[in-house]
Amino acid sequence: MITPRQKWTLNQEAFDKLLLALGGDRDSGSQKYLEIRTNLTRFFEWRGCSFPEDHADETINRMAKKVAEGEEILNHSGYAMGVARLLLLEIIKSRQREQSALNEMENRGEAYVDSDDGESRLTCLRNCLQSLSAENRDLILQYYQGEKSEKIRNRKKLMERLGIPVNTLRMRALRLRERLQGCVEECVGRA
């Protein structure tokens, strides 16, 4: 039986190993940690990332995982920046997938507005939303609530409430949106 792969999470032991690897002792390691984290946050800010501090933390978590696994890192700052560049590529790909899905939905949305069955679509959407679990329904409704900066704040609150990183939230929303879209298509086809 295949079990799903669990995401590695930073624990106290791994963090202590990272601090020792960074500076030889906890105090100097802490100073080096803060320096690296500040540089990583700037790196993600300068590249227009929505949550630079979260991305800096994810970079450090990945670095800590390697240290905990016994990998010896000689140039900690350089290694961290290398990991940050790879994470940035992941973020960009995720944005592109999201944008592609949004563009597809907008294109389909225009076709919906032109059709006479707008009311039946709305009824189907309401029915499909009700078929979701309360948790998933709240997630998808809150994910798209608000405009611009308000939407960003809402999503950040949602991440904090659920205790998940931004990419996980995006993927959950994408899957729910696709499920709703399929449900609405099927419902309208039956009507």
Query: Are 174 and 123 contained in the same domain?
Result: yes
Inside any domain, residue 103: no
pLDDT at 39 exceeding the cut of 90: yes
Same domain, 37 and 83: yes
Q: What's the number of domains the chain is made of? A: 2
Q: What CATH number did the domain enclosing 128 receive?
A: 1.10.10
**Sign of the CA dihedral 27, 32, 35, 40?**
negative
Q: Tokens 């294109």: give the residue.
A: 107
Average pLDDT over residues 43-71: 90
Identify whether residues 83 and 128 lie together within a single domain: no
Alpha carbon distance 94, 102 (integer Å): 12
In a domain, 1, yes or no: no
104-113, 115-124, 142-151, range with the lowest pLDDT: 104-113
On whether both 17 and 84 belong to a single domain, the answer is yes
Do 184 and 126 lie in one domain? The reply is: yes
Q: In this structure, is the dihedral angle defined by the CA atoms of residues 101, 96, 45 and 41, taken in order, positive or negative?
A: positive
Residues comprising the chain, all counted: 191
DSSP 64-132: HHHHHTT---S-HHHHHHHHHHHHHHHHHHHHHHHHHHHHHHHHHHHHHHHSS-HHHHHHHHHHHHHHS
pLDDT value at residue 109: 54
Q: Is residue 4 part of a domain?
A: no
Structural domain contains residue 42: yes
Q: pLDDT at residue 106 above 90? A: no
pLDDT category, 167, cuts 50, 70, 90? Answer: confident
* Residue 106 within any structural domain of the chain: no
Other CB atoms within 10 A of residue 124 CB: 21
Output the CA–CA distances (angstroms, integers) from residue 160 to 42, 64, 68, in the order listed: 22, 22, 26
Same domain, 16 and 75: yes
- Which residue range(s) make up the domain with 165? 115-190
Domain boundary residue, one of 39, 70, 88:
88
Kindly state whether residue 102 falls inside one of the protein's structural domains.
no
User: 């099927």: which residue's tokens?
Assistant: 186
- The percent of residues in the chain predicted with pLDDT above 90, rounded, is 24
